[in-house]
Amino acid sequence: MLFASYEFIGFLILTFLVYYLIPRRWQWGFLLLAGYIFYALADPRYLLFILFTSASIYGCGRWLAARKAAFRERFAREKEGLDRERKKAWKAAEGKAQKRILLLGLLSNLGILAVTKYTNFAIVNVNAIRTAFGGSALPMVDLLVPMGISFYTFQSIGYLLDVYWDKISAEKNPLKFALFVSFFPQLVQGPISRFGDLSKTLCIPHAPSAEHIVPGLERILWGYFKKLVIADRMLVAVKAIIADPDTYGGAFAFAGMLFYALELYADFTGGIDITIGTAQVLGIEVTENFRRPYFSKGIKEYWKRWHITMGTWFTDYIFYPMSVSGGMQKLNKWGRKHLGDRIGKRLPVYLCSFAVWFTTGIWHGASWNFIVWGLGNFVVIMISQELEPLYDRFHKRFAVEGRTPWKIFQVVRTVLLMSLLRMFDCYRDVPLTFRMMGSMFTSFHIRDLALSSLTGLGLGAADYGILLAGTILLTLVSLAGRKGSVRARIMTFPVAAQCAVWFGLFLLVILFGYYGIGYESSQFIYNQF
């Protein structure tokens, strides 16, 4: 069931009505049922996978919690009679036992993710090697890839690690934990919530209140505006450009790059608006996933503002544990001794950063395009990190820091760089992507960007007018958002003015949404990850 479908809107209305009509103590249980129905409607077999993840992670979490409590109690009782060394040895042995439970939960779930999502990618690569040496190709396998498996697996793993690190207590109620894994608004494209955050409002009773229902509905509407008016319309031209790279190189590839950046932003942030808005209507708070990313002045800042919950997940659960592990600490010492202080200090950090970006890439999709995209981000971040002293000297010499033209330059540079890397999402393979990137510099003809050329891409002049107006509106709302929530400010307007604003937006979606009879809205881009 796509978010942008009549079925989903019907499902939402029914869910909202039942949620507020049943006794409040049943609300969270009903959400669990709704989540499973939502999931089963996509494919009933998916349920087996999400049930396994819920049960295995819940079980490991409870096991860890019980073991930790038993150890604490025994240690407090018996530590007096032990010397320092024996206490240390006892703690180390207990630590190993707890780690085994953790690994059981992690490996079983990551194993399922790896097999379902990456088996065919592995076969393709093995076949490339086999055929190069004259061998025969292995057949591909037909595997079921459960919807949103990357999102709910990572969310569950985060929970187990938090229990392991004593950041949170293990949830006692298996059904409440199952709801955390399968909360339907965020099941297919995130955000990747933390148990400590989501559980605060997920299972408590919620009375219907205009204070959260109205802003929630407004946010859903804004999400549909982004998705239907901008993203789905822009998709038509993007598809036309990438489908025929021989015809559409040079300036067309450049236009395609910018069009895809706009489409991706409107699609993903629109989907997240629908997710967060739906949760808000239900009285549940979901972590924000974006903070005006296209206004970032550098790539590091961009990654703190785009898909925030994914970035922090990778930092907290991969980058930090790997960086401070015994192996990396040893590498640090070895590097400083043999390669000097400067390189030795950086070596482990860069190695971990490489691992994070490789994982980020492959998490997005089982293809070399995504891996190269991830590593492209790594390279740009490393270069900017290394050039920081040079930037500082430049800023001091020319006193440009903080000046508006310089800020605008930094923002444009970041958007162009990020959009360039995103071209790997679009084209069928890595060499073709590089060829199209090159064509933007070798065969750029400005006349190709004339409206008469762009209208050959499946969109009319009116469509481009709508896209331009929609982009201006998005930009203005983003700029206004710097001083706090735009919706909160609209709520201070007289009721008639508020109604006019939201009814106007509703009309824009109805009149200018890119659909018609027989048209089916496209899937959200991040659904496939």
Pick the piece of the chain touching another protein (CB under 8 A) from 163-171, 282-290, 404-412, 499-507. 163-171
Considering the rule CB under 8 A, would residue 410 count as an interface residue with another protein? no
Taking the C-alpha atoms of residue 273 and residue 289, their distance in angstroms, rounded to an integer, is 9
Binds another protein (CB under 8 A): choice among 55, 161, 411, 430: 161
How far is Cα 460 from Cα 452, in angstroms, rounded to an integer?
Answer: 9
Rg (CA), the chain: 25
Q: Which amino acid is at 91?
A: K
| Closer residue to another protein, CB minimum distance, 360 or 367 | 360
Give, as ranges, the residues between 336 and 355 that touch another protein (CB under 8 A): 345, 348-349, 352-353
CB 361 within 8 A of CB 370: yes
In this structure, are residues 57 and 152 in contact, taking their beta carbons and an 8 Å threshold?
A: no
Distance CA 284, CA 221 (A): 18
| Minimum distance, C-beta of residue 167 to another protein, in the bound complex (Å) | 6
- Min dist CB 291 to another protein, Å, is 12
For residue 293, give both structure tokens: 């990313």
Which range in 5-13, 18-26, 160-168, 506-514 contacts another protein by CB under 8 A? 160-168
Q: Are 457 and 241 in contact (CB under 8 A)?
A: yes
Q: State the minimum distance, in angstroms, from the CB of residue 385 to another protein.
A: 7
315 binds another protein per the rule CB under 8 A? yes
CB of 107 to another protein, least distance (A): 18
For another protein, the binding residues in 75-114 under the rule CB under 8 A are 88
How many residues bind another protein, per CB under 8 A? 28
Kindly tell me which of 201 and 332 has the beta carbon lying closer to another protein.
332
> Among 3, 151, 159, 164, which residue interacts with another protein (rule: CB under 8 A)?
164
Is residue 333 a contact residue for another protein (CB under 8 A)?
yes
HSE toward the beta carbon, residue 430, CA cutoff 13 A: 10
For the chain, how are helix, strand and coil distributed in percent, rounded to 5? 80, 0, 20
| Per-residue binder mask for another protein (CB under 8 A), 350-389, x = binder | --xx-------------------------------x----
Name the one range near another protein by CB under 8 A: 65-73, 144-152, 255-263, 327-335: 327-335
> How many angstroms from the chain centroid is the CA of residue 56?
24
Residue 165 found at the interface with another protein (CB under 8 A): yes
Question: Could you give the C-alpha distances from 377 to 304, 345, 361, 419, in angstroms and in order?
Answer: 13, 21, 9, 11
- The burial class, CB within 10 Å (0-12 / 13-18 / 19+), for 2 is middle
The C-alpha angle 490, 281, 52, rounded to 5 degrees, equals 140
Residue closer to another protein, measured from CB, 113 or 352: 352
166-225 binders of another protein (CB under 8 A): 166-167
Q: Is there a contact between 467 and 234 (Cβ–Cβ < 8 Å)?
A: yes
Helices (H) then strands (E): counts for the chain: 23, 0
- CB of 307: closest distance to another protein in angstroms? 16
Q: Among residues 290 and 427, whose Cβ is nearest to another protein? A: 290
**Residue whose structure tokens are 């150890």:** 71
- Selected binder of another protein within 108, 332, 384, 453 (CB under 8 A): 332
38 binds another protein (CB under 8 A): no
Binding mask 40-79 for another protein (x = CB under 8 A): ----------------------------------------
130 forms part of the interface with another protein (CB under 8 A) = no
Other Cβ atoms less than 10 A from the Cβ of 424: the count is 25
Q: Closer to another protein at the Cβ: 56 or 353?
A: 353
Q: Are residues 491 and 217 in contact, defined by beta-carbon separation less than 8 angstroms?
A: no
Using left for φ > 0, alpha for ψ between -120 and 50, and beta otherwise, residue 517 falls in: beta
Chain residues in the site for another protein (CB under 8 A): 88, 161-162, 164-167, 300, 304, 315-316, 319-321, 323-326, 328-329, 332-333, 345, 348-349, 352-353, 385
